[in-house]
Amino acid sequence: MNVIVVGCGRVGADLAYRLYKRGHQVTVLDTLASAFNNLEPDFRGRTVEGEVLNQDVLRRAGIAHADAVATVTNSDAINAVVAHIAHVVYHIRTIVVRNYDPHWRRVHEAFGRQVVSSASWGAQRMEELIYDPNVYRVFSAGNGEVEIYEFAVPEPWAGRTLGELLPPDQCAVVALTRAGRATLPDRDTRLEAGDLIDISATLEGADALRKQLAKP
User: How far is 198 from 188, CA to CA, in rounded Å?
Assistant: 16
Tell me what the mean pLDDT of segment 38-42 comes to.
Answer: 96
> Quick one: pLDDT at residue 36?
97
Give the number of other Cβ atoms within 10 Å of residue 194's Cβ. 13
Of residues 31, 27, 72, the one with CA closest to residue 50:
31
Is 108's pLDDT higher than 90?
A: no
Half-sphere CA count of 112, side-chain side, radius 13 A: 5
Which of 34-38, 118-122, 136-140 holds the top average pLDDT? 34-38
Confidence of residue 136 (pLDDT cuts 50, 70, 90): confident
pLDDT of residue 169: 81
pLDDT band, very low/low/confident/very high, at 216 (cuts 50, 70, 90): low
pLDDT of residue 128: 63
The full set of domains in the chain, from first to last, is 2-118 (3.40.50.720), 126-214 (3.30.70.1450)
Weakest-pLDDT range from 95-109, 135-149, 157-171: 135-149
Distance from chain centroid for Cα 195: 28
Of the listed ranges 20-34, 56-70, 71-85, 161-175, the least confidently predicted one is 161-175
DSSP letter (8 states) at residue 189: P
Q: Specify the 3-state DSSP secondary structure of 38.
A: helix
Q: What is the pTM of this model?
A: 0.65
pLDDT recorded at residue 103: 81
Is the Cα dihedral 32, 33, 37, 38 positive or negative? positive
Buried b (16+ CB within 10 A) or exposed e, 11-35: bbbbbbbebbeeeebbbbbbbeeeb
